[in-house]
């Protein structure tokens, strides 16, 4: 059978049939590994746990789940209705071999690529268990002939180096959103984890993305370092009124592309610098500022319950009658 016909058949049957066919004979396996037909996944979500790895992939609108379970005598592999016990097989090694095969055959764009480890709340445990997996993941991504095409990237992490094991190997021209979060909110509150960003900020992926979310990880960089995004949500230990005057000036500048800027904080200093505001019964505060567009105003909203400040544009009709509109 001509190779171009075999390739069309391979791509037409789709994943996981490609990998079933791969096991039928050596020649077909060699053909698949050589020609690398596209498996056309649209999403990958991975959850890692010390005793199991849970993987969800999306294809043609359908979500399929794979579970790699640790077992005293090997590994239990679950895929769709099938459950297979593999004696003397390490569940992490099996996952990584499958992941390498998936990534090798993934040529189309993933809408999302998530790597989560929410069960690991201790950084030492995270480093011991996750770091070897991330090291291998980085090698797999790095071995591709071209960066992995991803629009939305989400990762739970403690440190910058964890994110750097994946983010630099995603296609910077396609990546639209970057999301980083602590593995566990309660652990974050107890330890107040700080995420350094100096290396990440040098990446073209950072510069080209439009949306950024860093949750339950304190950042120390000035707010100006986050002005390149259309939508931003970050956590800072403390913020000041001057920080938000800087954000306000950015929003009112002629070349502004930012639509929403959210900061979660522990302490907020010198809010009076922002000028007069109106206060709700619950203590929330609203500041309003004129823009060059008479039908649109800039607002800064301080939510006391969730300790967050939101800067965004609103229509004039949405401004309360008792609001003081500032210049």
β-strands 74-79, 62-71 pairing: antiparallel
User: What is the mean pLDDT for each group of 10 consecutive residues in the chain (327 residues)?
Assistant: 54 52 53 60 92 89 90 90 88 92 89 86 78 94 95 92 96 97 67 87 97 94 95 96 95 93 95 91 93 93 95 94 88
CB 227 within 8 A of CB 260: no
Rounded to the nearest angstrom, the gap between the alpha carbon of residue 2 and the centroid of all alpha carbons in its chain is: 42
State the pLDDT at residue 245.
94
How far apart are the C-alpha atoms of 250 and 269, rounded to whole Å?
A: 20
What is the Cα–Cα distance from 226 to 82, expressed in whole angstroms? 47
Global pTM value: 0.86
Q: Which pLDDT score is estimated for 5? A: 52
192 sits in the region (left: phi over 0; alpha: psi -120 to 50; else beta) called left
Those residues whose C-beta lies under 8 Å from the C-beta of residue 60, and which sit 6 or more positions away, are 14, 40, 42
Residues present in the chain in total: 327
Task: Say if CB 214 and CB 180 are below 8 A apart.
Answer: yes
Q: What is the CA radius of gyration of the chain?
A: 24
């Amino acid at each position: 059978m001509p190779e171009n016909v075999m390739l069309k058949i391979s791509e037409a049957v789709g994943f996981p049939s490609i990998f079933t066919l791969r096991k039928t004979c050596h020649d077909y396996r060699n053909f698949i590994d050589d020609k690398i037909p596209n498996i056309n996944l649209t999403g990958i979500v991975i959850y890692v746990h010390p005793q199991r790895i849970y993987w969800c992939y999306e294809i043609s609108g359908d979500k399929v789940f794979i579970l790699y379970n640790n077992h005293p005598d090997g590994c239990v592999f679950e895929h769709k209705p099938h459950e297979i016990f593999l004696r003397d097989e390490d569940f992490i090694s099996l996952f990584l071999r499958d992941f390498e095969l998936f990534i090798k055959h993934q040529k189309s764009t993933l809408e999302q690529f998530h790597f989560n480890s929410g069960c690991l709340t201790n950084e030492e445990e995270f480093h011991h268990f996750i770091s070897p997996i991330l090291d291998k993941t980085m090698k797999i991504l790095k071995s591709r002939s071209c960066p992995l095409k991803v629009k939305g990237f989400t990762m739970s992490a403690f440190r910058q180096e964890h994110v750097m094991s994946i983010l630099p190997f995603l296609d910077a021209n396609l990546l639209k959103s970057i999301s980083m979060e602590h593995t566990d909110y309660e652990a974050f509150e107890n330890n107040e984890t700080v995420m350094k960003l100096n290396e990440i900020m040098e990446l073209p992926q950072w510069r080209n993305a439009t949306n950024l979310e860093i949750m339950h990880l304190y950042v120390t960089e000035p707010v100006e370092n986050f002005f390149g995004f259309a939508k931003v949500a970050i956590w800072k230990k403390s913020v000041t009124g001057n920080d938000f005057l800087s954000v306000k000036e950015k929003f009112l500048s002629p070349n502004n592309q930012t639509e929403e800027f959210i900061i979660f904080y522990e302490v907020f200093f010198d809010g009076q610098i922002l000028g007069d505001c109106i206060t709700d019964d619950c203590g929330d505060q609203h500041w309003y500022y004129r823009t060059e567009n008479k039908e649109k105003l800039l607002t800064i909203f301080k939510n006391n319950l969730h300790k967050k400040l939101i800067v965004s544009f609103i229509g004039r009709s949405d401004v309360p009658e008792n609001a003081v509109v500032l210049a």
